[in-house]
Structure 1
Amino acid sequence: MSSAKNKLFAAFTAAALFIGYQPVASARGMEKDSTLKKKYIVNIMHKVADWQLNAWNTTGFKHPKVDWTNAAAYTGLYAFGSMKGNDKYLDFLVNVGNSLNWNTGKSRFMADDYCIGQIYSLLYMKYKDKKMIAPFIQLADSIVAKPHDEGLEWKNRIQLREWAWCDALFMGPTALSYLSTATGDPKYLNTASKLWWKTTDYLYDNEEHLYFRDGSYLQKKEKNGKKVFWSRGNGWVLGGLVRVLDNMPANHPDRKRFETLYKDMEAKIASIQQPDGSWHASLLDPESYPVKETSGTGFYCYSILWGLNHGLLDEKTYWPVAKKAWAALTSSVHPDGMLGYVQRIGAAPDGVDFNSTEVYGVGAFLLSGTQLYQYVSKHPKAQ
């Protein structure tokens, strides 16, 4: 074959390969972009929410209805239920409240046991039925009246009386903050703010901009020598932080301090996102837990999208982070709607797999999806 023919053949082959490759690339691009379409977002949220409702209705509640695990799931269910045409999810939550006589858990001053109070307040604001918040008002008044003068060292069952572990920042301050909005009484929000900063002064690492889980982790190290910062634990914090901000007036004296904390934490979280868009169970030693974890990822996705929707985060920096996080979440949904890769109940990084699921992961997923729906509705080009 002549040199000219060789060149012509090579050019023809390259062109054929290029033409043949283009549809594949385009299809992949279209498939990726489709997860940001409003129809897709709604459909996959229905799928995940309905799987969870079916699990509750057919096999019963794995944890008590009033438990913090379910309460975290209810937050996402309420957010999704508040979208047009989703009344069945709100009806489910009202039925849960009625079955509990709108009471919180048995350990009155443990944040886990009154996490559900935020749902009671949200339902009250929608339906204006005073019975929904009457018992929680009594409890909240007693929380406000306590001196809260104990240290937060992880001993003497301190968690029964104080917010001595970072998870509590999703459970306690949110419940009090929503009650302030529901009643118009700022004392609950002010107490939430005061106790938030007490916990933060003890558990927040100002260098890493992350929270230790509790006092027993202050000196612990991961295999790589880094400090132990648990993904879902910090997810609890950021999820709680934006929910407190949702109830904090613009002129509140602590508002700017909360916003600064939020921005510092989100900058750190964005900087350690994994290539697949997720965060592993251990934030600073992801190689020790080399699989994505969707409860922490879900709360980060939610909190970042919340910040984009409220103008607190730069879109150029954080929208790519949110997109990748959403892709990590949606790729973890089973064909039947079960959300996988959710770390089991614990207090530290732990292993997960595709078949690991828990209700709080569903809550984080639905919170993320509702915030994403709001974002793409306002930013059509983002789809």
Structure 2
Amino acid sequence: MKRGRLLSFGLMLFIAALSAACAAQVQQKKDKATTSKQQVLDVLRSTNAYFMAKWPDTGKPIYTTRWRPSNIWTRAVYYEGLMALYSIDRDKRYYDYAVDWGTKHQWGLRNGLETRNADDQACGQIYLDLYELDRQEERVLGIKKNIDFVMDSGKVDDWTWIDAIQMAMPVFAKLGVMFDDPRYFDYMYRMYSYAKNEEGGGLYNAKDKLWWRDRDFVPPYQEPNGEDCYWSRGNGWVVAALVRVLSLIPEDEKHRALYLQDYKDLMEGVLKTQRQDGFWNVSLHDPTNFGGREVSGTALFVYGMAWGINQGILDASVYRPALEKAWQAMLNEAVHPSGFLGYVQGTGKEPKDGQPLGFATVPDFEDYGLGCFLLAGTELYKLLEDKPH
């Protein structure tokens, strides 16, 4: 009898301890849900510090299935995020880290100055950002020569996949502004229009207000549930491209109204597909095809929504709850104490690539997912007031 009472008492203690632990976990989640500028900045610093510590040599080639130079698009997207972070957190280490990367690659492009591949041109966005901060000619010469080469060819069908729009379109926009030359604006419009309306019959679906990744996914291609295949990160790339271009081009640029409408329509299409937990699936219209949490697409959508609210373009009452829910989801479910980001889909072009995803899954490239997260967090930081929201 005495032994039974002791067991019962021990069980009560165990249940009490378990309840206390659960309550603490719930409270921790609640604390995280109170987002302030400082909390956002802290997590951006933490995730970025993890990456910089892991990659102290900015020129070190990246190995996955083979060696690749570190001025490829994946690393360029990271530096886009780093430059965004630098705009709100003027830590000289960020600037030096970016300059060292450009210097190690002699401010060049992966496949030379006559490459037409948008993935090669993505690094130019950072080179031009750094040129604006310190006008050293070597920072701008290579990327300008390359884009001039593209325009001189008269060929406008290079952007055959929607990722390319983000990788290259902002380069044209920035050159047009920096050199006060509308030819860059006109040419990027022709390339954008070709991808949107002609490539594969047109990669944009006005009905769903979403983009097919490339001609391989234009109907009759279907997802397992019979829907069209709209890849999350691919649509995120178009969001980022339009945000960056609209941030750069003049108010009177003749195609600005079209880009603005495309941006607003795309954000509407994206909003309709958000998961209940705040994330977006890798397949926006088919949650059965490798459904689950995914950070890179989610972060790009947060970036687009926060920017639109900051600019007075999107209705905050509609989009702010969605973006804050998404931010909290990433914060609570994907960010490790070390600063590593889980649930980032590896490189590819469709839902099945880089699967399965998990909290501890390391993608083939760790850089671009962080870049997307830094872009999102920076725009959210600008949106937040100093007091907790």
Q: Please give the range of the TM-score, normalised by the shorter of the 2 chains.
A: 0.7 to 0.9
2:13 maps to what in 1? none
1:139 maps to what in 2? 146
What is the RMSD of the two structures over their aligned residues, measured on CA atoms? Answer: 2.0
Aligned residues with identical type, % of pairs: 32
Q: Which amino acid aligns with 1:341?
A: Y
Contact kept? 1:48, 1:339, Cα under 8 Å: yes
Total equivalences in the alignment: 348
Contact kept? 1:329, 1:365, Cα under 8 Å: no
120 and 339 in structure 1: CA distance in 2 versus 1, 3 angstrom threshold? same
1:297 maps to what in 2? 298
Measured after TM superposition, the shift of residue 121 of structure 1 is 0.7
Q: Mean alpha-carbon deviation: is it higher for 81-90 or for 67-76? A: 81-90
Match of residue 381, structure 2, among 360, 373, 380: 373
1:47 maps to what in 2? 46
Q: Which amino acid aligns with 1:92?
A: Y
1:213 pairs with 2:221 = no
Spell out the pairing of 1:327-346 with structure 2 (5 A cutoff).
327-331=328-332, 332-346=334-348
1:153 maps to what in 2? none
Match of residue 371, structure 2, among 357, 363, 367: 363
Match of residue 173, structure 1, among 169, 193, 199: 169
Instruction: For 2:342 and 2:57, locate their aligned partners in 1 and report how far apart those are by CA, in whole Å.
Output: 19
Instruction: For 1:58 and 1:115, locate their aligned partners in 2 and report how far apart those are by CA, in whole Å.
Output: 20
1:346 partner SS: coil
Instruction: For 2:284 and 2:380, locate their aligned partners in 1 and report how far apart those are by CA, in whole Å.
Output: 24
1:5 maps to what in 2? none
Instruction: For 1:94 and 1:55, locate their aligned partners in 2 and report how far apart those are by CA, in whole Å.
Output: 18
Instruction: For 1:238 and 1:99, locate their aligned partners in 2 and report how far apart those are by CA, in whole Å.
Output: 30
1:121 maps to what in 2? 128
Q: Which amino acid aligns with 2:121?
A: Y
1:280 partner SS: coil
2:337 partner SS: coil
Measured after TM superposition, the shift of residue 291 of structure 1 is 1.5
1:184 pairs with 2:180 = yes
Measured after TM superposition, the shift of residue 83 of structure 1 is 2.2
Instruction: For 2:388 and 2:252, locate their aligned partners in 1 and report how far apart those are by CA, in whole Å.
Output: 32
2:232 maps to what in 1? 231
1:199 partner SS: helix
Contact kept? 2:156, 2:194, Cα under 8 Å: no
Instruction: For 1:292 and 1:349, locate their aligned partners in 2 and report how far apart those are by CA, in whole Å.
Output: 12
Measured after TM superposition, the shift of residue 284 of structure 1 is 0.3
Deviation string 1:211-237 (CA, Å, 9 cap, x unpaired) is: 111111112111100011111111111
Instruction: For 2:305 and 2:61, locate their aligned partners in 1 and report how far apart those are by CA, in whole Å.
Output: 30
Instruction: For 1:217 and 1:270, locate their aligned partners in 2 and report how far apart those are by CA, in whole Å.
Output: 21
Contact kept? 1:111, 1:163, Cα under 8 Å: yes
Instruction: For 1:24 and 1:101, locate their aligned partners in 2 and report how far apart those are by CA, in whole Å.
Output: 52
Contact kept? 1:116, 1:175, Cα under 8 Å: no
Instruction: For 1:174 and 1:29, locate their aligned partners in 2 and report how far apart those are by CA, in whole Å.
Output: 38
1:75 maps to what in 2? 80
Measured after TM superposition, the shift of residue 360 of structure 1 is 0.7
1:92 maps to what in 2? 97
Measured after TM superposition, the shift of residue 329 of structure 1 is 1.8
Instruction: For 2:294 and 2:30, locate their aligned partners in 1 and report how far apart those are by CA, in whole Å.
Output: 26
135 and 199 in structure 1: CA distance in 2 versus 1, 3 angstrom threshold? same
Instruction: For 1:205 and 1:26, locate their aligned partners in 2 and report how far apart those are by CA, in whole Å.
Output: 42
Instruction: For 1:141 and 1:90, locate their aligned partners in 2 and report how far apart those are by CA, in whole Å.
Output: 27
Measured after TM superposition, the shift of residue 144 of structure 1 is 1.5
Deviation string 1:160-206 (CA, Å, 9 cap, x unpaired) is: xx101011011110121122233332322321122111111120011
Spell out the pairing of 1:252-331 with structure 2 (5 A cutoff).
252-331=253-332
1:342 partner SS: coil
Measured after TM superposition, the shift of residue 300 of structure 1 is 0.6
Q: Which amino acid aligns with 2:92?
A: D
Q: Which amino acid aligns with 2:256?
A: R
Deviation string 1:319-349 (CA, Å, 9 cap, x unpaired) is: 0011011112212011110111010110111
Deviation string 1:37-80 (CA, Å, 9 cap, x unpaired) is: 11111110011111111121279442422100101111001111
Measured after TM superposition, the shift of residue 26 of structure 1 is 9.4
Structure 1 residues without counterparts, runs of 5 or longer: 1-19, 151-161
Instruction: For 1:84 and 1:348, locate their aligned partners in 2 and report how far apart those are by CA, in whole Å.
Output: 35
Q: Which amino acid aligns with 1:200?
A: K
1:286 partner SS: coil
Structure 2 residues without counterparts, runs of 5 or longer: 1-19, 63-67
Deviation string 1:64-107 (CA, Å, 9 cap, x unpaired) is: 22100101111001111222332211110100111111111206
1:57 maps to what in 2? 56
Instruction: For 1:263 and 1:97, locate their aligned partners in 2 and report how far apart those are by CA, in whole Å.
Output: 34
Q: Which amino acid aligns with 2:39?
A: Y
67 and 26 in structure 1: CA distance in 2 versus 1, 3 angstrom threshold? closer
Q: Which amino acid aligns with 1:240?
A: A
2:151 partner SS: helix
194 and 356 in structure 1: CA distance in 2 versus 1, 3 angstrom threshold? same
